Amino acid sequence: MIEARSLTKVFQDKKRGAVRAVESVSFRCDPGYIYGLLGANGAGKTTTLRMLATLLTPTSGGATVAGYDVVAQPELARANLGFLSTATALYGRLTAREFVEYFGRLHGLPEDTLAARREQLFARLEMNEFSDRRCDKLSTGMKQKTSIARVLIHDPQVMIFDEPTTGLDVMTARTIVSFIRECRERGKTVIFSTHVMTEAEKLCDRIGIIHGGRLLTEGTLGELRAKHGQNDLEDVFVDVVTQAGGAPS
């Protein structure tokens, strides 16, 4: 389970002064569900997710990941968390196997558990063919599979995906999308951020629309359609953002 309570993040900028990147964002996602954060570039999605992943400390408000407070127990929160984004790259000079094992060890897995888990994951993701190849020699698809193995090696309860398909080709993006679905089927709590409406429609059980750092509305796809009298999610998004006084992207 993941719960954000009035999450707020203020950055100090030399030119602009205090910048409120995220303003009192609250939502909750239970195991076996996908919560989608839908927003344009710069809306505050990445900052919100970075606070949930304990990479950034909230200025005010708080959050729990699998029951652990992200501020008071960041290491325990991360121990139950898998974080994947296009910004989380691989160590080019390590092989895919070494890379995944490195993260398994850092998560405190005993060697025998790590070996069993790695074999299982590599077989499921069809990685055995390239497991001993250096990451900088892998194709984009192979890299994504290695990243997926990295976030799954410690079998976390909560998964966070920050625009995971940005810049990927159709086939690689499909691998990621089907992997996110699989996470839900396995009972994991999934938070997924995107600015691609079709992805959000296809994947998310609940959607929150974020703009200017504020969560403007949230609900199931059906609830959002009914609330805003629009059939298409893109129209719902434009309607919500326009009403909030912002320009839709």
Partner 1 sequence: MSLRNIGIVYRKELTDALRDRRTLISTIVVPILLIPAMTVGLGGFISSMIKKAQKDVPPIMILGGKDSPRTVEALEHLPSVRVIPASDDYARRITNKELRAAVRIPPDFDAALDHDEPAKVEIYVYESDMNSEIAGGKLQSFFQTLRQQTIEKRMAERNISMSLLRPFEVKRENVAPPEKVSGAMAGALLPYLVILMCMTGAMYPAIDLTAGEKERGTMETILTSRVSRTHLVIGKFLLVLTTSLTTALLAVSSMWLSSQLAARMFTEQLSAKGGDAAAQLHVALRANDLLVVFLLILPVAVLFSGALLAIALFAKSYKEAQSYISPLMILVILPAVASMIPGVELNLRLALVPILSTSLVSKEIFTGTYHWHLIGVIFASSCVYAAIALYAAVHMFSREDVIFRA
Binding region for partner 1 (CB under 8 A): 11-12, 50, 53, 55-57, 75, 78-79, 81, 83, 85, 87-94, 98, 102-103, 105-108, 134, 150, 154
By beta-carbon proximity to partner 1, the closer residue of 43 and 56 is 56
- CA 143, 85, 101 angle in degrees (round to 5)? 50
* Side chain identity, residue 203: L
What is the token pair recorded at 39? 């927003």
Work out whether strand 189-194 and strand 158-162 pair parallel, antiparallel, or are unpaired.
parallel
By beta-carbon proximity to partner 1, the closer residue of 190 and 241 is 190
CA 235, 236, 241, 242 torsion-angle sign: positive
CA distance to 53, 60, 133, 165, 248, per residue, from 120 (Å): 26, 41, 18, 24, 44
By beta-carbon proximity to partner 1, the closer residue of 59 and 175 is 59
By beta-carbon proximity to partner 1, the closer residue of 78 and 211 is 78
Q: How far is the CB of 87 from partner 1 (least distance, A)?
A: 5
By beta-carbon proximity to partner 1, the closer residue of 26 and 59 is 59
CA distance to 19, 58, 193, per residue, from 10 (Å): 5, 8, 20
Strand locations in 81-238 (E): 81-85, 158-162, 189-194, 206-211, 214-219
**Distance, CA of 121 to CA of 6 (rounded, Å):** 37
Q: How far is the CB of 74 from partner 1 (least distance, A)?
A: 8
By beta-carbon proximity to partner 1, the closer residue of 81 and 241 is 81
Q: How far is the CB of 194 from partner 1 (least distance, A)?
A: 18
By beta-carbon proximity to partner 1, the closer residue of 67 and 219 is 67
Q: How far is the CB of 137 from partner 1 (least distance, A)?
A: 12
Residues 6+ apart with CB under 8 A from 186: none
Q: How far is the CB of 247 from partner 1 (least distance, A)?
A: 22
Work out whether strand 60-65 and strand 68-69 pair parallel, antiparallel, or are unpaired.
antiparallel
Q: How many residues does the chain have?
A: 249
Q: How far is the CB of 230 from partner 1 (least distance, A)?
A: 35
| Rg of the chain on CA atoms, in Å | 18
Q: How far is the CB of 104 from partner 1 (least distance, A)?
A: 10
